[in-house]
Structure 1
Amino acid sequence: MQLQSALGPTILISTIALCAIRSDDDPTPPSPLLEDHFSNAKPGESPEAAGWSLDTSRGNSTWVVTEDATCRVTHAVKPYAQDTLRRSVELPQRYYMDFEARFPEHAGFSLVAASGRTGTAFYGSGKTILWKVLPNKALGFGWQTVPVAIRSATWHKYRILVDIDEELQAFYVDEMSQPLFRETGRDMRLQPDPEKPAANYVEFRDYGLVTKPVTSEFRNVKVVALKPGETPPNDSFTPAELPALSGPSPAELWRDPGQTDHPHPDGPFVVTSEAELFLDDYLIAETQNLSRRLNKPEPHPDNPLLRGSAEWEHNQLAFPSVYRIDGQLRMWYLSWGWNYAARDGEVPIRDSSFLCYATSTDGIHWQRPVLGLVEFQGSTRNNIVLRHDGSHFDSFSVFYHPQKEDPFRMLIYQGRWPYDDAAIKAKGYEFKIKEHGHFPFRSVDGLHWEYIQDDPDPVWGSDRSSAAYDSRRDKYMGFWKSSYQGVRSRMYAESDDLLEWTPATRSLTPQWMDDPDSQVDPPGTHYYGMVAFPYGNQYVGLLEVLDDLTSCMHFRVISSRDLKTWNQMSAPEPFIDHGDDGSWNSGIQMMANSPPVLLDDKLWFFYDGADYDHSGGDRTGKQRCIGVSALSKDRFVSLAPADASYEAALTTVPLQLDGKALHINADATGGELRVELLTIDGDVLPGYSRKDCRPIADASSLDATVAFNGQDQLPEDPVRIHFILDGAKLSAFWVE
């Protein structure tokens, strides 16, 4: 059994093979074919003393029976060691297997049942484990997760129900009244001749994929034959009681601004013409009756704007990068529809995916110009700008620097599937790239691309990585995809030229890895993709979140002041909601690898969405398209009275106002907003009281100037700003 790289090199695996033999009809009630509590062996003995056969010649793992009739495995630190614990058993066409297992701070098993044709895998590290099952052929590749989080260091009961004739597999955890996951359509015969036994043993196998010795435990193994159509008993299991959650969740704290333990500036913070948002509490000292709300972009009614209608697109468009240049919107995107067809030999591997180009004057109606640059099936009448030099393209980022001789730059991932030189040679592929990864390109016009390097070499290996440009510091920011103990996480690096990068450092890891009670990241969360961009005096990011329990994907808003610590306390709320079931973006959504486009005082967020989830499989008739949602400028969040029956207030940390006038982005429709300026000690400055302030009332403005009667400029000394909201919403402030 081969595990995908997403499980990571540190995931510990062993295997059980439940192998089936057909039996004659038997009118007697079903009875256990195997019921082993390991009680026939003495504590400290090998399970061989209980009638099992053990082979540790390949990995040298250790298997012993404990005082409570448990088999404890100390796993081998050797990749694919495949030490085995085996016992003969003959199974009918329908049966179930029960066992209890405990994984002390690390996943310990990978299980294979029914002649080795149905598989399951436990994986994870820390306090939570996930149970993944090998899906049926219709799903194609990958693993499907049983939708439950398993607490490590706690005994749980597991059940696998198998019916070979019905091609059925069902999986239970603790509650045995109904399966948590059920699949049909999987051929579980190892060989086609029903007269021959598929196999005649039960096997536990240690794959040894760990970096240090760890242990797993299992007990109460039972295999029971069932009659056709018969269901297992409802003998549920109650795990040890878990501690109850206490205190407000991070999201609740975030919605109550000023209550989080967020750092503040060391001294007076300089406010400039850059908008100061309220995504975090960095500038908030005190609040009264105030609540914070995430504002979501409004999907355009014409979505999706771009479908994969061209033959070379084959219904699959991904990863748009969009810029407004000289009054025109220009988009680069991947046509991805032939990716898996190429692997199956339906089209040449060179035609698996392409980098394509489209233009628009309004952002809604897009044209595919006939460029005549790249041949597809004998014709260059298409909008393709680049063909890969490997097996396929994946995530990419385009940059636009109008002041440079070659104003367009790009990092784009090129793969070398099947990622094994011998397998590549066997398929007859002759790739031009030596390694897979993200390669730097340049272009004079965004259409004609060339490698920046004379000898092309990737700067980062993982797919779904991205980069952005920080114009304030003249730096490229790399947001790399990585695996942390088998879970997709993010790393960060910087570069001056896209060629030489600082060593990557760990940036974001799903919180459930260390805290299974995390309400920011429930168990099974992966950080699949990320892009960030400068906004005001901070960085705003979009973090792609993959839910391993549902295989759906969305993205959330995050923010940072230093690119090291990220605030994502608005989680788990998505920034852009999925569509209804069956709609174009009901399954996965992945954001553009470029900043939002400012158009008509709105931020346009481009993204791609699909009507299928991340579990893979047959995508015939499915589509992946590109759409857009728009948000009013600077209005990522709004601060408003928590109780609308009385005023709310916010006092900032000490600020140095580097301008003559204070500006705010606020919606005072049906209410009003006033401002006071205070000394650092909190006293009202003469001439800048709420009575001196001309109220901003009964209007919504993206740029309202705060005026004080008798004052034509702001104080030179540091001050605190005191905002008073009466039925109004505040989103940002700045000075000019």
Structure 2
Amino acid sequence: MRHITLFSTLVAIQLATINATFVCADDVIELGSRRELFVDHFLIDNLDNVQLTLNRPRDEGIAMEFDKPWEGLFCGYCTVIKDGDLYRLYYRGRPSVGADGSPDEVYCYAESKDGIQWTKPELDLFPLEGHPKTNIILANAAPITHNFSPMLDTRPGVPAEQRYKAIGGTMHSGLVALVSADGIRWKKLREEPVIPTSMVPYKYMFDSQNLAFWSALENKYVCFFRVFKDGIRRIARTTSDDFLTWSAPVLMEYRHLGEDGPIEQLYTNQTHAYFRAPHLYVSVAARFMPKRQVLTDEQAKAINVSPKYFKDTSDAVLMTSRGGSFYDRTFPGGFIRPGIGARNWVSRTNYPALNIVQTGPTEMSVYLNQDYAQPTSHLHRYSMRLDGFASAQAPYAGGELTTKPLTFKGGELSINFGTSAAGSVRVEIQDASGKAIPGFSLADATEQIGNEIARTVTWKGGSDVAALAGKPVRLRFVMKDADLYSFKFNE
């Protein structure tokens, strides 16, 4: 009986080894040479005393004031586009309160060489009485000028005269498409809307900043727009091959740690392809808290906020998507919290601009529309390290992160990381079963200490990992008092 038991145990161990070694091709993530950020659990198989941590952006102060006579208190729905060495800013100009899509709404334009200091060019496109030159690039186009949202079209082979595209409109007009060669002079792509109200199965839609962009991941244009479902502001998505004909809209859902995520009022979604990892969509959305009043009547009067615009409050939250019909809300808390002082706690303030752009060798910036409905209305800038939305963080006691099986292309592994003076990161490369590969074990790994955007990982034998390219492997990061933001295999 003892021999049978021993034999059964040996067989069980052997079968377990075979099962651990065998990995179905569908279970292996084809990484290629793309950069991966630790903003979700997509690549993570195991965390041991390591947690994903949200890193809140740093306040860099006022980027630009909305101080022209045609701008004013109700400027909003901003878009920032980096086109080569030039940064372009688009925003609605509106000095007084009014209904959505009113004829007096205009769209304004500013430029920057660094994304930090902004200037408003004097253009003769739309002169106003007493102002022969303005920075207005679209007027007399209601209701498009309520929420005009431009994009730089990165689709291969796009005609030069359509290098810039935009959508705008309300539920009364549907979403109308415009095109431009230079991002300043615009014309309609066609008269009728490309996304008419009739194709959206909701009672209310479009009364927000709706956006579109070319997705290299999906090889399509994608559009994210606002709808109402059960009285809650939600996001719907549609796709197109040509920017003219769009698929039936799909309501976006939310996931948090593999379960249904919180459904909250999201006023704008600002979804875009992250410029350093275009397969990853980043959304810095405006979370709206209706009737969550913070200020007293006296406090509101002291900051001269427009009446009825201090009964709610809002902030910015971070979501991500890898295509498809759901957002990952790994971090349901606030990404950018309202600042100190009454001005930051009024209705419809802290609304993020569309797109995050690089503003330095190691820095990127996100912009927020702040002091809404106040004489101090302005655009505010916040900065982060490149890839620094979130990180895999290990305490002083140390911890480990192990990825799911993956394949890669390239000859070296680069990490974006930071440690304390006492901290470190070491990388072990394992086979798909979790066994260390000779020459790339933890004992062979060089301790990485420092704070760099791109550090090449080394082992005793050097940095060359080309022999492992195309084979299913796991990465084991052993960390102490450190943050790991992203990694990439370089070809």
- Global fold match (TM > 0.5): yes
Q: Does 1:273 align with 2:18?
A: no
Q: How does 1:263-662 map to 2 (within 5 A)?
A: 266-300=26-60, 303-340=61-98, 350=103, 352-377=104-129, 379-390=131-142, 393-401=145-153, 404-406=159-161, 407-413=163-169, 435-455=172-192, 459=196, 462-464=206-208, 465-508=210-253, 520-521=262-263, 525-535=264-274, 536=277, 537-550=279-292, 551-571=312-332, 573-583=333-343, 587=347, 588-597=349-358, 599-611=360-372, 619=373, 621-642=374-395, 644=396, 646-662=397-413
Alpha-carbon spacing, 1:669–1:299, altered in 2? closer, same or farther (3 Å): same
| 8 Å contact from structure 1 (residues 330, 357) kept in 2 | yes
Distance (whole Å) between structure 2 residues aligned to residue 404 and residue 447 of structure 1: 16
Query: Which deviations, in whole Å up to 9, do the C-alpha atoms of 1:472-513 show, x marking residues without a partner?
Result: 4442211121111122111110122332110001113799xx
Task: Write the letter of the residue equivalent to 2:436.
Answer: V
| 8 Å contact from structure 1 (residues 265, 283) kept in 2 | no
> Which portions of structure 1, spanning 4 or more consecutive aligned residues, are displaced by more than 6 angstroms?
none
TM-score normalised per structure 2: 0.80
Task: Write the letter of the residue equivalent to 2:280.
Answer: Q
Distance (whole Å) between structure 1 residues aligned to residue 326 and residue 170 of structure 2: 30
How far off its partner does 1:265 sit? 9.0
How far off its partner does 1:456 sit? 5.5
Alpha-carbon spacing, 1:546–1:455, altered in 2? closer, same or farther (3 Å): closer
| 8 Å contact from structure 1 (residues 414, 439) kept in 2 | no
| Count of residue correspondences | 426
| 8 Å contact from structure 1 (residues 339, 353) kept in 2 | no
Alpha-carbon spacing, 1:414–1:450, altered in 2? closer, same or farther (3 Å): farther
Query: Which deviations, in whole Å up to 9, do the C-alpha atoms of 1:561-597 show, x marking residues without a partner?
Result: 23322210311x2111211223357652212223434
* Identity score, percent: 22
List alignment gaps of at least 5 residues for structure 2: 1-23, 198-204, 293-311
Query: Which deviations, in whole Å up to 9, do the C-alpha atoms of 1:136-160 show, x marking residues without a partner?
Result: xxxxxxxxxxxxxxxxxxxxxxxxx
Distance (whole Å) between structure 2 residues aligned to residue 624 and residue 496 of structure 1: 38
Alpha-carbon spacing, 1:359–1:649, altered in 2? closer, same or farther (3 Å): same
How far off its partner does 1:339 sit? 4.3
Between structures 1 and 2, the one with greater helix share: 2
| 8 Å contact from structure 1 (residues 393, 414) kept in 2 | no
Alpha-carbon spacing, 1:509–1:336, altered in 2? closer, same or farther (3 Å): farther
RMSD: 2.7
Which stretch shifts more, 270-279 or 465-474?
Answer: 465-474
Distance (whole Å) between structure 2 residues aligned to residue 509 and residue 566 of structure 1: 5
Which has the greater radius of gyration? 1
Distance (whole Å) between structure 1 residues aligned to residue 247 and residue 272 of structure 2: 19
| 8 Å contact from structure 1 (residues 317, 334) kept in 2 | yes
Distance (whole Å) between structure 2 residues aligned to residue 399 and residue 584 of structure 1: 29
TM-score normalised per structure 1: 0.54
Alpha-carbon spacing, 1:336–1:597, altered in 2? closer, same or farther (3 Å): farther
Distance (whole Å) between structure 2 residues aligned to residue 636 and residue 341 of structure 1: 36
Distance (whole Å) between structure 2 residues aligned to residue 400 and residue 493 of structure 1: 18
Task: Write the letter of the residue equivalent to 1:412.
Answer: G
How far off its partner does 1:282 sit? 1.7
Query: Which deviations, in whole Å up to 9, do the C-alpha atoms of 1:21-59 show, x marking residues without a partner?
Result: xxxxxxxxxxxxxxxxxxxxxxxxxxxxxxxxxxxxxxx
Query: Which deviations, in whole Å up to 9, do the C-alpha atoms of 1:421-450 show, x marking residues without a partner?
Result: xxxxxxxxxxxxxx4232100112111111
| 8 Å contact from structure 2 (residues 74, 97) kept in 1 | no
| 8 Å contact from structure 1 (residues 389, 414) kept in 2 | no
Distance (whole Å) between structure 1 residues aligned to residue 428 and residue 99 of structure 2: 65
Query: Which deviations, in whole Å up to 9, do the C-alpha atoms of 1:228-284 show, x marking residues without a partner?
Result: xxxxxxxxxxxxxxxxxxxxxxxxxxxxxxxxxxxx993221223322112221211
| 8 Å contact from structure 2 (residues 143, 169) kept in 1 | no
How far off its partner does 1:332 sit? 1.2
- SS of 2:439's equivalent in the other structure is coil
Q: Does 1:679 align with 2:439?
A: no
- SS of 1:266's equivalent in the other structure is helix
Alpha-carbon spacing, 1:330–1:547, altered in 2? closer, same or farther (3 Å): same
- Choose between structure 1 and 2 for higher RCO, CA contacts under 8 A separated by at least 6 residues: 2
Distance (whole Å) between structure 2 residues aligned to residue 732 and residue 285 of structure 1: 16
| 8 Å contact from structure 1 (residues 580, 586) kept in 2 | no
Alpha-carbon spacing, 1:388–1:503, altered in 2? closer, same or farther (3 Å): farther
Distance (whole Å) between structure 1 residues aligned to residue 313 and residue 432 of structure 2: 48
